[in-house]
Chain A
């Protein structure tokens, strides 16, 4: 399996803050990868460096086997879709459609026009007069129709309603299947996007805390729920990532894989054993926007190590 994106000890320091702190990761070619983490975790910085739009401080970044910075050969195969993309003054959507083929070898004009229709984008309105959702739609159109071997979507849903987001997910999936390519998408809407993803990278405070297949990630923990006493008994010394209580009921997220013993205890205690969703797993590690107070927002070094162990 070859990697489309690879970083080794990638570090970016702004003044005294490390936006990326020795991030090493690998994303296989032709997969859809989710990039998760709270605001300020380093997602956009990572994408910007990989897209050659920002200089790294130290470490290595490789896209399709080469350093992307000032590398025309790599950048010709890369598309970075972001809602805050800058366009020349007075630019209209029609101008975007006309200029895009210069930048993207794989540009599909017919597909772009179809996408414009799907998102009901006005061709003649100046870009600066578009709403945030329409700007997101423009970014999505360019990101998809460029058919670039490596495509980044930075929170592609900003300002889009649920229907438009659904259209985006369907189009992304269909076009990815017809034209397989590497897609890296940052998102806070984990539940919505989880099923689309094959791989997931989670950043926290500039550090990578997870880089694995979604399947392995969600198999790294499970939930146990029922009466508080029965849950406590069945849990035993296992590592609890998160606890939710309602009256005498309790639901815990436990690191590891449920064994025969646990199933037996659960059956005896009338407990339910369930899988953990990607969203729950991320929340359990205190990474979500407005995460539960019970979750550890800034775990001490020791907890961090344990969390990493649990995720393996």
Chain B
């Protein structure tokens, strides 16, 4: 968990991560507000806010009296949002740190290529 963010956002990002990695496929039910609250030891109002954030973003949808489900198209939506944020969230800090260490961009690109090859991706 990233302590530099409010808890309800941490929860929303945690669920997004689970959806992206396939733990919660589209159409399946996610745990309830109370289950998340008990698991994370947080106030249920906070957990509800995290879940509602995903409902507002169209990632989850509510079925009254039943629970919350991963919406159809959630995966594509999440991927495109995360792609947009990828540069700021991952590339900028990477480039900044490389600069601090004196790694130029050619070397950086070569390092990325090597890592990806080793990881088989």
Contacts and interface: CB of A to CB of B under 8 A. Distances in A.
Interface stretch (A37-45, A47-55, A170-178): A170-178
B7 to A, nearest CB: 6
Interface in A176-225: 176-177, 195-198, 214-215, 218
A32 B4 contact: no
B46 interface: yes
A87 interface: no
Interface stretch (B36-44, B68-76, B102-110, B111-119): B36-44
A290 B97 CA distance: 38
A270 B4 CA distance: 16
Contact of A196 (B4, B43, B96): B43
Contacts of B63: none
Nearest to A223: B4
Interface string B1-32: 00011110000000000000000000000000
B43 A195 contact: yes
B90 to A, nearest CB: 15
B45 interface: yes
B6 A275 contact: yes
A270 B38 CA distance: 37
Contacts of B45: 31, 198
Contacts of B4: 272, 274-275
Contacts of A196: 41-43
Contacts of B38: 170, 173-174, 177
Given A198-B43, A198-B46, A173 B6 contact: no
A91 interface: no
A195 B7 contact: yes
Contact of A218 (B6, B37, B40): B6
A32 B42 CA distance: 11
Nearest to B40: A195
A195 B6 contact: no
B83 to A, nearest CB: 21
Given A32-B43, A198-B45, A177 B34 contact: yes
Given A174-B38, A195-B41, 14 more contacts: A170-B38, A170-B41, A173-B37, A173-B41, A176-B44, A195-B40, A195-B42, A198-B43, A198-B45, A215-B6, A215-B49, A270-B96, A274-B4, A275-B5
Closest 4 CB pairs of A and B: A195-B42, A177-B34, A274-B4, A198-B45
23 contacts: A31-B45, A32-B43, A170-B41, A173-B38, A173-B41, A173-B43, A173-B44, A174-B38, A177-B38, A195-B40, A195-B41, A195-B43, A195-B46, A196-B41, A196-B42, A198-B45, A198-B46, A215-B6, A215-B49, A272-B4, A274-B4, A275-B4, A275-B5
